A and B are shown apart, each in its own frame.
Chain A
């Protein structure tokens, strides 16, 4: 009797999980202005950033990407789903127990590969190396896969210089509903964010999808004096107000911050645009 009950319990657990394996075609509609061609310089709207993040972004110069050390950087795990991100998801299965030991994810843009360990292993020591995809472990919460990622290299929350530090933790929820896959990402960064940054991205199962090959070899694109690092000194970035001017936004709103994420900010924004007191 006990054995039968345990067997049923095990079956119940297995059925609560979802098979994430397959090729997934991306749906790009959410937050479209900051995806694809990318965000404008000085657009910090709707992000829970602090002053340290603003200064990093104000100092950022897109010429950074011409440096040989930067040309082949892929998106980190927390930003990858926002870029061109058709997915191939596979699994590694224990041949006897048939448990999924790991989920293996490859993203289309630059083909970064992630492994999500499901075998309960601990995260590495603080002295271990960081990587673009970090170290990920997963657990099922009902039919939702919760993934926790640490050991990320420094990355970005928006592609205009807004940083995400290497002290950040990424928590993700993978939700499969029939042929639809939704990923909820929650970035917690004690260095540059005042609140968790929550975003969602979506995919549709696509059995005909194939990821394109990719390879990157850096080259000297611009001759510069040794050790030159492109950046703007504080107060000298002439491009920072272009975004707010082009869209008729008060500069205060363009500077972002947690309050600009919430609906309660809309009336304040309206007053700012009309020139009234905030």
Chain B
């Protein structure tokens, strides 16, 4: 069953027209399924990438994209496996990664003893796993409005450097990278398949976004990229080997993560030198310290080079105080 599903996918990318209805809505997006390696596939969508592990026991889903594409995401997963979704893992609190939590969890199934004792009735939703800081940012103190509905909150959190689970005959390592994209980032390493889902620490389509208001920092993103490089092992001639699923963009290997790490480190060093020389943010932006990378990573209608430079500048200034 698993082999057949994987073989079907290995024939090429499977494009799923996300919405059969004629109404043009924001949910009318296209999801694309690409085999990553082993039992892991990538589903690319408008809000980011989802990693899916399939096997003889259950389905594991890393990041649930936006709520608008939940139906399409579930339809895509159903084509890959008839097993229930048992675990959802969130790599950060971002809406593009947690937006579908409630719908995907509700469609899944995971019954534990503690759930059978729940006075609200037996829960059977898929578990939602994340670093504890994700729960902190999605929920709120009693009496105040939470940023996200309770059904979307992580049900299983960890507060240590890492965590692990074993599903479908494969060990999954969850590695927390402090203060990177946010303060609740998790890298997921599928050990047997040799696939890493990075969340937004790595993004092939634009400069890294780190949210300082949510505890993110440029130093944390660089450390996260170095952690990915620590884990990834390339094949012959620096090709293949560990497959990397970025938060956004295309499948990659170690070399492309190293390219991204190098770019970010070099830009960080340039801006730090400019700050050291007493330059203001406006002066730094005019000096265009990213101009040699803008053709690759500038997102003119989104996360622009100027916004990225400003974020790095402010972060480094705050760090030096």
Contact = CB atoms under 8 A, between A and B. Distances in A.
Contacts of B12: 124
Given A73-B255, A153-B255, A227-B265, A128 B294 contact: no
B44 A127 contact: yes
Nearest to A234: B270
Nearest to A236: B273
Interface stretch (A1-9, A49-57, A199-207, A244-252): A49-57
B234 A127 contact: no
Interface stretch (B97-105, B155-163, B174-182, B235-243): B235-243
A112 B256 CA distance: 18
Interface-central residue, B229, B259, B296, by most chain A CB under 10 Å: B296
Interface residues of B, number: 42
A233 B249 CA distance: 29
A254 B256 CA distance: 30
A223 to B, nearest CB: 16
A73 B32 CA distance: 30
B292 A56 contact: yes
B251 A59 contact: no
Contacts, number: 105
Interface in A165-184: 165-167
B291 A55 contact: yes
A15 interface: no
B304 to A, nearest CB: 16
Interface in B269-290: 269-270, 273, 289
A58 B255 CA distance: 21
A259 to B, nearest CB: 21
Nearest to A216: B237
B238 A69 contact: yes
Given A74-B237, A226-B226, A233-B269, A127 B295 contact: no
Contacts of A74: 237-239
B222 A129 contact: no
Given A153-B255, A167-B296, A52 B237 contact: no
Contacts of B294: 52
B266 A227 contact: no
B262 A229 contact: yes
B128 interface: no
B13 interface: yes
B42 interface: yes
Nearest to A226: B226
Contact of A124 (B13, B44, B258): B13
B269 A231 contact: yes
A111 B238 CA distance: 12
B226 to A, nearest CB: 5
B237 A72 contact: yes
B44 A153 contact: no
Interface in A131-152: 131-132
B34 interface: yes
A191 B263 CA distance: 15
A98 interface: no
A125 interface: yes
Given A69-B229, A128-B250, A154-B259, A59 B238 contact: no
Given A72-B238, A128-B251, A131-B239, A55 B292 contact: yes
Given A153-B255, A229-B265, A231-B269, A73 B238 contact: yes
Nearest to B255: A153
Given A128-B13, A132-B237, A216-B237, A52 B291 contact: yes
12 contacts: A52-B294, A59-B292, A69-B229, A71-B238, A125-B32, A128-B34, A129-B253, A154-B259, A165-B296, A229-B261, A229-B262, A233-B273
Given A128-B13, A129-B253, 12 more contacts: A52-B294, A70-B238, A72-B234, A131-B239, A153-B256, A167-B296, A191-B296, A215-B236, A226-B226, A229-B261, A231-B269, A234-B270
Interface of B: 12-13, 15, 32, 34, 42, 44, 222-223, 226, 229, 234, 236-240, 243, 249-256, 258-259, 261-262, 265-266, 269-270, 273, 289, 291-296
4 shortest A-B CB distances, which residue pairs?
A191-B295, A55-B292, A69-B258, A229-B265
